[in-house]
Amino acid sequence: MHLIEIVDDLLVVLDEDGHGLDAHELCDYPAAQRQVEAWAAEFSLDAAEADVQLKAYFLARCDEEASR
């Protein structure tokens, strides 16, 4: 199974050995969701878990921006 990770404001899809296959810059939640859907059509990955990660990332980003 492929994994999705967030690294330095990038959404990254990893193969079974942990090698990066593709990356997408995290600008907004809807675009990130669309990218996960596109990858889910190409790779075997847990889209629901990816969505949990995305929600946490964007929530933290909003909190960070609000505290400035």
C-alpha distances out from residue 47 to 5, 19, 38, 39, 58, Å: 12, 18, 10, 9, 16
pTM greater than 0.75 (yes/no)? yes
What domain count does the chain have?
A: 1
Q: Which tens digits make up the pLDDT trace of 3-56?
A: 999 999 999 999 999 999 999 999 999 999 999 999 999 999 999 999 999 999
Structural domain span for residue 17: 3-66
How far is Cα 9 from Cα 46, in angstroms, rounded to an integer?
Answer: 20
Termini Cα distance of the chain: 39
